[in-house]
Structure 1
């Protein structure tokens, strides 16, 4: 499948009066009684929203608190991209049963969004199948369709003619031909989303049986036509949504909310764009240092880098070369030797503390070469990666000095640092420091209350973006 030129493709797509679209959407949102519950497989799913709660567990009390908020949307952080299949099944069964129970108790209907990676990695279809089966077992609900919409504009993830692309400069590369498709745990081959569904479901759902919402229909603002397609869905049929801009999602969500009112039931598998639109979240300017650093500790900041994707390594190298921070490599390959690994963890932590106390900001990063155990040992590698992630997290949880700010790079890394390292139970999303890079304000129960915690996805931004974000935090 060949690469496309973004400029050429986008020029061919008809324009649309977004004001008219948003007026229709706002009326549908205002008349919708549905609570939007987003299950986030790592903390980067909040990268398009602000003023929204993130709960870092899925206890019934947290789910009740989310349902009782005035906000129409809340997030439950599952971190399931770092789970085994068995752990993922257990977590999603528990969540589904509790969300259904709370919905019935509060008499509030809901829509579940399984927020996954915009480059198609993750436990799919396991997560949505588990949610579907668990809810149908616990209620009279039956799901007619599953909406699939991996579009994420801020990260350059566009779906055109049912093919999902990752943008590199002006090049649109089919997702199945990127480094993300070669992921050792969640790899795939297909870029056409119907073929991707067929591949991931091992042929249970065929590409020719999917419902396709085209850009032509969306750009015609033909809400009625989209709604008819949604009303026709049966038996958990897959609904592929094309999108290259937020306006495409806005037209779709208008039709989606109308279909809900007519009694249809859907689950959604999406990236971050859908959550912003269906949650009715407004645009907000990027955060300034004054909004981020509300209590200056005179200490240095801390940047934690765990992600191994090529973009992260490029960004790390650019940050180190800038001289903004000191750098410490954490040799995680020592994980195979318990004593040596323990000494390495201690070395990294004590060095970090000395630097932070002296007012120097520091980045510590996992050794860039992947630990490769060989063929057919993916589950074992995943378990070792969890052990490494736990070690990276322990350095934060055992800190005896408070950094001026904390940045965590990579989805699994940022999840474990936030939930375990900082002991956050609920955080508010303050906004974004750069497009697609969200900021938590940690709650009073956390290790460092009120701290600016920047959740930096591994695959977002350009080579200079991490450096630029740190420069904002450093006031430079």
Structure 2
């Protein structure tokens, strides 16, 4: 295991080429592109890098009509496919794309499809890009693979994808994420990862790589590489900064203006760069309250205390949860996996948790966590089945609490957890991604409908931030709630 600093990784390369978000927006206009990026997000955490964009947790035709009518450059569809078995993920992806294409055609909109997945390379690849390509009904020239996420410490240099661990960087294939029970892998070099995941159907030598010096100093060569793509060839690029993403976006926009069609497989910040959106500063307590008031709650005034739901088991989440418990006064309740998978104990266990949480919210915030010892099955499919049972239990607890108390906020930690809490626990169908809670990470949503309308909902990925990040977000949310708490 060889750790290195970012400075060592980029030593000797050209500095980033200055490219502003405004330049990207102007390039879109100059190319004559009238597109809407339809982002199939395999868990809700993809929205953490963007602001002011519509979010769907359902994909009926009326859902797309609502989203397209918002006149946004991109819309997000929460498929939660990372929690699904391959055949179900395939069916969901096909349904989303087919419906989006039909509604877009009726409304005169040109959809461009983005498969947003994990910056640490977990997820259904190449399944999802293959299904999107087939279901879009159009010839796709290239699959653009860009997992970089600089704010979270995921960069690609020399074709190798790295993940920040502490202050230094480690090839992603040597991290805990590569050992995932369902989506594990060995390769850190993206071309080799593609060969590994396609089981040799795409050879590493056939993956096109745009190196960092080329990206930063040879825009014509970058455009030529993109224009040369055909028959769904895979292209990736070295990416370290936002300017690198924008420089690549300029070439992609130019190529699309010339008639090229791409399907994107990307990490969270790519969409922001590709549509020319500025980085949004972390939302303030005043913005949180404004968003809450703007949506309007259909029920009683919320309590001045929040609900934190933790499902993720990755190491950084464990450390963040420990820090939170040490620094924020809250009642801690545990969804015990052994009782959840035992049908004789499940219902009574969950009802007891709901009762305890409702009582505790009268006097303080509540943390609902799943058992901290990760329980896995004999293989990837059975591990996913256990995850789904646990997630369903968490959803039942959240739904039961909300039916009796309106917390000042709800924060969900972990991708599967945050998706299920949003769509099932809080019954959010249409939402707005307001902006990040921390620089470039952790998304604040506001539900536009359902029982959670007016309650800030925070999507906190399991694998981002430092040990104190969860505590910082909860304290900010509590500060916002305290500032507007009704007299009691």
Shorter chain as normaliser: what TM range? over 0.9
1:78 paired residue number: 79
Contact 2:115 2:128 (C-alpha < 8 Å) held by counterparts: yes
2:436 paired residue number: 432
1:229-285, CA deviations, whole angstroms, 9 ceiling, x for partnerless residues?
Answer: 111111110001210001001011111011011111110100111111112222222
Q: State the distance in 2 between where 1:244 and 1:16 align.
A: 9
Please report how far the alpha carbon of residue 449 of structure 1 lies from its aligned counterpart in structure 2 after TM superposition. 1.2
TM alignment of 1:188-207, pairs within 5 A: 188-207=185-204
Please report how far the alpha carbon of residue 340 of structure 1 lies from its aligned counterpart in structure 2 after TM superposition. 1.3
1:415 paired residue number: 419
Aligned length: 466
1:166 aligns with 2:167: no
Q: Which of 202, 213, 216 is the matching residue for 2:213? A: 216
Q: Residue 4 of structure 1: SS of its match in structure 2?
A: coil
Q: State the distance in 2 between where 1:291 and 1:347 align.
A: 35
Q: State the distance in 1 between where 2:259 and 2:377 align.
A: 50
Q: State the distance in 2 between where 1:191 and 1:247 align.
A: 23
TM alignment of 1:219-238, pairs within 5 A: 219-220=216-217, 222-238=218-234
Q: State the distance in 1 between where 2:3 and 2:142 align.
A: 31
1:257 aligns with 2:248: no
2:298 paired residue number: none
Q: Residue 173 of structure 1: SS of its match in structure 2?
A: strand
Please report how far the alpha carbon of residue 359 of structure 1 lies from its aligned counterpart in structure 2 after TM superposition. 2.7
Contact 2:215 2:248 (C-alpha < 8 Å) held by counterparts: yes
Please report how far the alpha carbon of residue 333 of structure 1 lies from its aligned counterpart in structure 2 after TM superposition. 1.9
Please report how far the alpha carbon of residue 216 of structure 1 lies from its aligned counterpart in structure 2 after TM superposition. 0.6
Please report how far the alpha carbon of residue 336 of structure 1 lies from its aligned counterpart in structure 2 after TM superposition. 2.9
2:24 paired residue number: 25
2:451 paired residue number: 447
2:396 paired residue number: 394
Please report how far the alpha carbon of residue 105 of structure 1 lies from its aligned counterpart in structure 2 after TM superposition. 2.3
Residues 1:452 and 1:148: Cα distance change in structure 2 (over 3 Å):
same
Please report how far the alpha carbon of residue 133 of structure 1 lies from its aligned counterpart in structure 2 after TM superposition. 1.7
1:339 paired residue number: 344
Q: CA RMSD in A?
A: 1.6
Contact 1:324 1:471 (C-alpha < 8 Å) held by counterparts: no
1:248 aligns with 2:235: no
Q: Residue 49 of structure 2: SS of its match in structure 1?
A: coil
Q: State the distance in 1 between where 2:65 and 2:477 align.
A: 35
1:362 paired residue number: 366
Q: State the distance in 1 between where 2:417 and 2:376 align.
A: 19
Runs of 5+ unmatched residues, structure 1: none
Deviant stretches of 4+, over 4 Å: none
Q: State the distance in 1 between where 2:157 and 2:103 align.
A: 38
Q: Residue 12 of structure 1: SS of its match in structure 2?
A: coil
TM-score, length-normalised on structure 2?
0.92
Contact 2:376 2:386 (C-alpha < 8 Å) held by counterparts: no
Contact 1:299 1:402 (C-alpha < 8 Å) held by counterparts: no
TM alignment of 1:149-160, pairs within 5 A: 149-160=146-157
Runs of 5+ unmatched residues, structure 2: 294-300, 483-488
1:91 aligns with 2:97: no
Q: State the distance in 2 between where 1:213 and 1:422 align.
A: 43
Q: State the distance in 2 between where 1:258 and 1:298 align.
A: 51
Please report how far the alpha carbon of residue 341 of structure 1 lies from its aligned counterpart in structure 2 after TM superposition. 1.8
Q: State the distance in 2 between where 1:323 and 1:42 align.
A: 27
Moved more, 91-100 or 434-443: 91-100
Q: Residue 93 of structure 1: SS of its match in structure 2?
A: helix
Please report how far the alpha carbon of residue 224 of structure 1 lies from its aligned counterpart in structure 2 after TM superposition. 1.9
Q: Which of 288, 306, 310 is the matching residue for 1:305? A: 310
1:444-476, CA deviations, whole angstroms, 9 ceiling, x for partnerless residues?
Answer: x22121111010000010111101111111229
Q: Residue 345 of structure 2: SS of its match in structure 1?
A: helix
Contact 1:319 1:325 (C-alpha < 8 Å) held by counterparts: no
Q: Residue 226 of structure 2: SS of its match in structure 1?
A: helix
Contact 2:16 2:244 (C-alpha < 8 Å) held by counterparts: no
Q: Which of 294, 319, 326 is the matching residue for 1:321? A: 326
